[in-house]
Structure 1
Amino acid sequence: MRSKFIFLYPLLCLMFIHIDTIQAQQSTCTAIGQNPSTAFPVCGTKVFSQESVPKCGGRSVIGPPCPGGQDGGLTDVNPYWYKFTCYKAGTLGFKITPKVLSDDYDWQLFDVTGHSPDDVFTDRSLFVCRNWSGEGGVTGASGAGTSLQECGGMGVPLWSGMPNLIQGHEYLLLLSHFTPEGQSGYDLEFTGGTADITSPGIPAIQSATYNCLNSTIGIKLTKKTLCKTLTSQGTEFIFIKGTGTITGASGVNCSNGFDSDSLLVQLSAPLAPGDYTIAVRNGSDSNTVLDVCGNALAEGESANFSIAVPPPVELRGVAPVGCAPDQIRIGLSVPVRCGSIAANGSDFRITGTPLASIRGATGNCNANNLTDTLIIQLSQALVRDGNYTITLTTGTDGDPILGECGQPAVIGQTVTFHTADTVSADFDFGLNRNCKVSTLDLTHDGANGVNYWRWTFDSTDNRYTQSATKIYGDFGMKHVFLFVSNGTCTDSVARDINLERTMAALFNVDPGPYCPMDVISPKNESYGNLVSYLWDYGNGVVTVGPDAVPQRYYPTRKEQDYRIRLIVEDNLHCMDTVDHIIKAVTSCYIDVPSAFSPNNDGVNDFLYPLSAYKATDLEFSVYNRLGQLVFQTTDWTKKWDGTVKGKPADIGTYVWMLRYTIKDSGKKVFRKGTAVLLR
């Protein structure tokens, strides 16, 4: 493969004049070409000369394990990256010749097909071959090499074997300058291999597209060309049909790369509708644009495009305004430029009743600063029923609203909209009582066009009429919720209504038990506008009047329950009744039987303190004749059944002890005695 020497990208020499001199491992590489994503494109027929190597880098470069485990220190020190595509499969040969032959240059090749360029730092599978010899001198890949991976260290061969490239695959080549002193560059030459990495063909224009928003022509090329070969004034292009003034040109993504297949030609003003042809000529730098191999976009290359008359900007209508709108959204037939909308809303005038005014306007603008919706901001929300018209006019900026291609919207266009009254869900109610039944009569005034009602009582009962009646058979707090709507505006209100009892029969009495001669005095606590009282004490005595008459009870059984009842009546002849049960006993004398016979005949089957109704803090214990505890309780109703651990106790005499406090007097009592167990 024949080669000739050229200087690689003179512009780069200017970029690196002020590179920091700190240690490479301490500096992040920021210049294009020094990171995988901004790699130099290369041509297999050229020799690339890099005059100096700025200091930066230090990121670890991964690959398969080195023989002997010498992976440490493989980093992109002062790096440059190169990218190319294999157009014909074969071996890749190249050599790197340092400007100072003693300099140590290392390299590694990656196959990045289908990957992000930065994956070279994380994906070990992208490795193709490498040479990280610690020796200085000419290095590369050639038939002299015997291995595809020569790792770090002195005495390691400077030449690696030639890797096999795959047709259609994309590759990245890293060159790392490991010499700690000096910034001398190198020459990179691709030679000796059988693979073809030279992009075939010459650049040509594929298409041209006019962008009226930015007054630019987008030119798509069949292959990438070098950004530096395009003049910033766009002198490589000329109109040969149609009239326009070209003021500049740039390559897409040239700010962070070296080549591009998409060019933007900047015009001084929008183009008029019609047919156009843009053609290529030698620019002020005496050439057209060139690809990486120096192939030029041919003079006379051209592309045709047409510009249609832009569609008119029309106000299509108002989006539903809802309730109490404070902004109005107007749809457009075509997008307009957001910058042409006067921010103070003076492009619009609003008329209608009640009066309204506009305080601002904007658009729902996208990334291109275009909008297909106008947003009119009102000075205050429109809360009353009304009909309104918005008219397009000329704003205080003196310019009309402009479409994407600069076409002005016709002044005088109008849109109309209607607003509805806001509504209130506030309601009135009346309360009627009939003894224990309360009736709520609720009504809403239906003002401002309300035509929908939903009453909810205690979250379960719903009614859908303007007025509603709810009957309650109990008392307490009742929750009423009303939702109303006029089809546009809605409102709701929740209210708690307390249904208080106006009368009730109540009295307080100790449930007992009561001993003979105890006096029972119920205390009346009834309330309301009461006019009559009837007491029934359950013992055959009945009295009238608000105060109960004290009573004594003489039961015919050992224990007997009595029902005391109070019936009251108020001035509305509503009646209420309340009952309490008391217990009366024939005796409250506490004693312990002298004998018992636990034979389940229902007579004297247990040993326990009798009639201990008036005892508190009671403790009853039973011991056998050896002094062993056989039974104990603090509840006098828990009785000894004559067993010990579930087995019948022996016949004989047992000692009992009884401690308690007399409830009425607080006197403490201790007694003991014996009882005979009989069978």
Structure 2
Amino acid sequence: FQWRGPNLFQTTQSNFTINSLSPKNEGYYYVKATTATGCTNTDSVYVSVSPIPLANAGTSQTICAGNSVVLRGSGGEKYKWEPSANLSSDTIPQPTATPTDSTLYYLTVSNGSCSRMDSVMMNVLHLPKANAGKSFTIFEGDQVQLNGSAAGDDIQYFWTPNYNISNPNILDPFVYPTFDTTYVLHVISQQGCGESDSKTFIRVYNKISVPNAFSPNGDGINDFWEIKDLYTYPTADVSVFDRNGQMIFHSIGYGKPWDGTINEKPVPIGTYYYIINLKNGTPLRSGSVLVIR
């Protein structure tokens, strides 16, 4: 066998491989075959060399969740993007993508004969989300721990107002307001993806102080069972019982403090028992009070 072809190619092999093809190798290859008795014949084959596409999927980008981005593919005649979900088209060089999560896109570029692949990463930042947690009811002078939570990528968070709070820059600070206060948890994206707010309400009730004794003897000193700040609870239910469980005093609200009588007659000296229901969702208050004369 005698082969000859483009770029001064020659060989005597019947079968052969041309490595690292380039445009110089394109053209007709002719072979002349000769038998042992001297008989000959010729034939030819045409080798077409197509250039490899310069596939380019573009550069990585970062977007906020819910936004769109244009993919910048180039380098060929035909295009195929994968995955195709959330793309305006998967067969054009520059489709619009609206990914819900960070996605690595693969681009296959073809020129009809050859193809090449490239990839590009689209990073999706999840939006900030704030949850201030449940509301609380406390008495003045008490404290409660907030239980906020935050979500999102590259975020910072803080509470407002910066009032009677142990640390406004953590999710679970202790607060001890002396009056009704709404605390707001702010969660902010550091990448310009917005802000989320959430509120929790702290209801602060006046703390009542229940005396454990009084002396209704008409001397003008401690003649009444004075319960400080109970007047601020107009629906409070106050009941007093003797040691046998008989109710000897009952009041809705406490506009008129107990004077140590039952049916306008003085009760005997001794220990009596009370139950106070503030009717605001807080636990019942109970205890004993000593009547002395």
Which gives a bigger RCO, structure 1 or 2 (Cα 8 Å, sep 6+)?
2
Q: TM-score, normalised by structure 2?
A: 0.47
